[in-house]
Each structure stands twice: as structure tokens, then as C-alpha cells.
Amino acid sequence: MTFLWLLTGAAFLVALGAFARVRRVSKRLERLSESYWELRYEHGQLRSRIARLEPGDGDPGQPARGDHEQQPRAQSGATAFVPLSSLKRPNETTLAE
């Protein structure tokens, strides 16, 4: 009977140790995730600042300074907003025909 109590106590201590380790790892993961998103945000800000300062230097895919006026700009396929009130419903008589 004493052996079972010792085994139960050891299992309880192992469970407490595992629980403490999971909490530490969880907090570390939360800190790493927060750091990742902060760095990603800062990277985007720095990239946009660099693009505003020098929009063609050092990037082989971008035209050099002065070349962007000579090349035609590509049309972006922007989607326009269409309000639902401007859409007309088909007449019921048209559907019956």
C-alpha cells in the first residue's frame, strides 16, 4: 500500500513539473509571437519609408531614376464599388415570357 502512495506522489510531482514547464513555454511562445508581429510591422514601415525615399534605386525589378517617366504605367485592375441601389431588378413579366 505504501508503494502505491509513493507512486501516486511521484506522478503528482511529475504532473506539477510538466504543468510548470507548459506555462513557461506558453509564455515564451506568447512573447515570441508578439515580437514577430512587432518586427513584421516595423519591416513594413521601413519598406514603405525606403520606397518613398528612393523608389527605384537598388532594386533590379524597378526602373532607375528618371526612367519611370518614359515607361507607361501598368493599369491596375481595381474593382469599383457598385451600390446595390443602382442595380435594377428584372421585371416579373420579363421572367414569365
C-alpha 32/C-alpha 40 separation (Å) is: 12
Q: Tell me: the pLDDT tens digits for 11-64?
A: 999 999 999 999 999 999 999 999 999 999 999 999 999 988 886 655 555 555
DSSP 27-74: HHHHHHHHHHHHHHHHHHHHHHHHHHH-SSTT-TTSPPTTTTTTSPPP
Q: Tell me: the pLDDT tens digits for 58-69?
A: 555 555 555 444
C-alpha 83/C-alpha 30 separation (Å) is: 42
C-alpha 59/C-alpha 64 separation (Å) is: 8
C-alpha 97/C-alpha 90 separation (Å) is: 12
